[in-house]
Amino acid sequence: MEHILFLAHTEDDGSLSRTAREALTGAMELHRQLAGAAFSVGLIGGDVSTAVATVAGCGAATFYAVSGADFAVSRYASDAAALETICRASGATIVVAPATSRFNRVVPGVAQRLGGRIDTHVGGFSVNDTEIRIQRGYYRQRMIATLTRTARPWFLTLDAGVFGTWDAAPGNVQVTALSVTVGDDIRKTRVVGYRAPQANAQTIKPDAKLLLVAGVGWTKKQADGQVHLDEAAKTILGFLDKAGASLGSSKSLVDQSSEGHNVFSFMSHLNQVGQTGSTPRHPKGLSTCCHGEEPHVVGWRFIGERRAINLDTNCGWAQGKADVLYVADAFELVRKVTELL
């Protein structure tokens, strides 16, 4: 009989992130489909009481926690020790965890300590009788693989945006508090603070509701026969700031920087969406000054609602690739929308 263990860590304020609450929905769904499976929850963090209340109604029979100041921050050695202890105490055969940056660093190491196997970036699963099959995208190859394993424990980190967010009224449950010793050898690694890029430099925001894609049109000669790079940069950044949107790009636009052209300092190949770029997941997407060619649009397959702004009525977006195409000047339109925001 399988035993599913859902693992999560708290955020700075003691809550569970949206990614964690989505992964919990995934773990609950797996428990529902896998007849006779046991279900446990394991939490780590400084103070896990809010997180425990959040997950209380998820249907797990057992709740484990490792908490205290040593577990408040992301540190490989203490996180690995805490998760290993929870996994061993539960006897889990299937371990489900959110693919947060904290867990992406540590969960593979925990799988190794337990002699288990891990699959990361899991984007879905199905259960065939008692056999679990998971799906994982190999984006560059444009393939989705279906995998199964007999090795146990089997660790799965679930990507954000796949399952609905668990959002139930807080409850009460009995928690088994596990003690994990953190020695001075571990404590000598201290988190002294965060150094994050400035808000306007952090243009890739996987949790944003909207993806704004910029294409090469922003750098082309406009109606007055001139290019307007400064104005384009100001318009794009102004919109990102007001809308809290994530920034994507066409390949042609980010390729220009590597060819020594004077383009946008806030974009790199990491922003590229498409066949040879990323496949972001956002509820909505707005393409601007991008032609909407297939190698680009293939990267939009997880974007819920697609809109595009192009001067060309016959651009790729008009060929059934966008839900709405605004035939308009993106400079004007984006500036106006930013004003309204």
Task: Name the site residues for ligand FAD (rule: CB under 6 A).
Answer: 215-217, 220, 222, 250-253, 272-277, 289-291, 293, 295-296, 299, 309-312, 315, 329-331
CB of 327 to ligand FAD, least distance (A): 9
> How far apart, in whole angstroms, are the C-alpha atoms of residue 117 and residue 111?
6
Contact 128, 134 (CB under 8 A): no
> How far apart, in whole angstroms, are the C-alpha atoms of residue 320 and residue 259?
32
Q: Which residues pair with 97 in a beta bridge?
A: 157
Q: Which residue has the tokens 């649009």?
A: 297
CB of 212 to ligand FAD, least distance (A): 13
Please say which residue, 2 or 293, places its beta carbon nearer to ligand FAD: 293
Among the listed residues 231, 326, 237, the one whose alpha carbon sits nearest the alpha carbon of residue 288: 326
Please say which residue, 81 or 232, places its beta carbon nearer to ligand FAD: 232
Burial grade of 185 (CB within 10 A; 0-12, 13-18, 19 or more): exposed
Please say which residue, 45 or 316, places its beta carbon nearer to ligand FAD: 316
> How far apart, in whole angstroms, are the C-alpha atoms of residue 81 and residue 76?
8
Contact 246, 280 (CB under 8 A): yes
> How far apart, in whole angstroms, are the C-alpha atoms of residue 123 and residue 35?
22
CB of 252 to ligand FAD, least distance (A): 4
Please say which residue, 85 or 272, places its beta carbon nearer to ligand FAD: 272
Please say which residue, 26 or 277, places its beta carbon nearer to ligand FAD: 277
- Of the chain, the end-to-end C-alpha distance in Å amounts to 54
CB of 235 to ligand FAD, least distance (A): 10
CB of 65 to ligand FAD, least distance (A): 43
Contact 62, 41 (CB under 8 A): yes
Please say which residue, 29 or 329, places its beta carbon nearer to ligand FAD: 329
Residues in the chain: 341
CB of 285 to ligand FAD, least distance (A): 13
CB of 62 to ligand FAD, least distance (A): 46
Calculate the alpha carbon distances from 196 to 144, 199, 202, 231, 338 in Å: 33, 8, 8, 26, 25
Across the chain, the runs of DSSP E, i.e. the strands, are: 3-9, 38-45, 62-67, 94-98, 117-128, 131-138, 143-147, 154-158, 176-177, 210-214, 246-249, 282-288, 303-310, 324-327
Half-sphere exposure of 79 (CA within 13 A, CB side): 24
CB of 278 to ligand FAD, least distance (A): 8
Contact 251, 276 (CB under 8 A): yes
CB of 317 to ligand FAD, least distance (A): 9
Please say which residue, 283 or 295, places its beta carbon nearer to ligand FAD: 295
Among the listed residues 289, 312, 297, the one whose alpha carbon sits nearest the alpha carbon of residue 235: 289
